[in-house]
Amino acid sequence: MSLRRILIPVIIGSLIGLTLLLTPGRSKTVTISVEGQSFQVTTSARNVSDALQEAGFMLQQEDEVDPSPTTQLKDGMAISLTQAMQVSLLTDGENIQIRTTQRIPAIWLAQAGLSLNEADRILIHNQPHPPEQAVPFQQEITAQIRRAVSVTLQSGSETWVINTSAPTLGQGLWESGFSFSVSDLLIPASETPLNGALSARLVPGVVHTRILG
């Protein structure tokens, strides 16, 4: 067999391979799942990252993608994206910034090296939020950790000490099981902010009921 007959098929095969490499990928239909929502896209992208970009998702370093962003795209592939959020944790006079794909506030605290005591509370959008309850995705979110303070309440010969993270004295006592009649006198007033340890005095009027023994 002549050298020419050997080289021609080799050259033709090389040209075909080069053409395939330089030609844009064929269209593929893939399913993208983001934050519990799934949709299909048809794309000629070569890998997962490019497909997500075509779908309008610019990947950040902290995002979680399955399969990995560099994975070659295949028709019928399922892609899962969990986007990272910028979380501001306001606590003890500090503003701690983290980026995380987690949606549970208690995990944010663990990632930031913070602890939550029993009577502490987390505020999101200025509203109490259960530490173990997930929050929906937001590009940026602020969580405030309100630390509990000690309140000493005296009434006659009785004294109670409670720990509360409520914003006011009246709410803290109410959440701890105390109720009062309109004729009772609370000193200082129930609207007093709880920004630190506080001593209060109750002067009973008609009725003073303590719900919790």
Confidence check: pLDDT of 2 > 70:
no
Task: Give the pLDDT confidence of 163-204 residue by residue, as tens digits.
Answer: 999 999 999 999 999 988 888 899 999 999 999 999 999 998
- Calculate what percentage of the chain has a pLDDT beyond 70: 85
Q: Quick one: pLDDT at residue 22?
A: 42
Residues 123-134 pLDDT 10s: 999 899 999 999
Per-residue pLDDT of 107-119, as tens digits, reads 999 999 999 999 9
Does pLDDT of 13 surpass 60? no
The DSSP bridge partners found for residue 33 are 38, 80
Cβ-contact 119, 92 below 8 angstroms? no
Instruction: Find residue 163's DSSP bridge partners.
Output: 150
Q: pTM for the whole thing? A: 0.74
Q: How much is the pLDDT for 18?
A: 42
DSSP string, the chain: --HHHHHHHHHHHHHHHHHHHHSPPPPEEEEEEETTEEEEEEE--SBHHHHHHHTT----TT-EEES-TTSBP-TT-EEEEE--EEEEEEETTEEEEEEES---HHHHHHHTT----TT-EEEETTEEE-TTS-----SEEEEEEE--EEEEEEETTEEEEEEE--SBHHHHHHHTTEEE-TT-EEES-TT-B-SS-EEEEEE--S-EEES--
Instruction: Return the closest-CA partner of residue 123 out of 109, 143, 104.
Output: 143
Give me 80's structure tokens.
């899962």
pLDDT at 7: 44
C-alpha closest to that of 175 among 154, 148, 202: 148
Query: How high is the pLDDT of residue 181?
Result: 84
pLDDT at residue 25, as a whole number: 55
CA 56, 61, 64, 70 torsion-angle sign: positive
| 11 pLDDT tier (thresholds 50, 70, 90) | very low
Domains of the chain as residue ranges with CATH: 25-82 (3.10.20.90), 85-146 (3.10.20.90), 149-210 (3.10.20)
pLDDT of residue 32 exceeding 60: yes
- If one compares 152 and 92, the residue with the highest pLDDT of the two is 152
Q: What is the pLDDT of residue 183?
A: 87
Please give the C-alpha separations between residue 204 and each of 62, 77, 151, 156, in angstroms, as whole numbers. 57, 71, 18, 8
15-25 confidence digits (pLDDT tens): 444 444 444 55
Tens digit of each residue's pLDDT (9 = 90 or more) over 36-94: 899 999 999 999 999 999 999 999 999 999 999 999 999 999 999 999 999 999 998 99
State residue 17's pLDDT score: 44
Sorted by sequence, the CB contacts under 8 Å of residue 42 that are 6+ apart come out as: 27, 28, 29
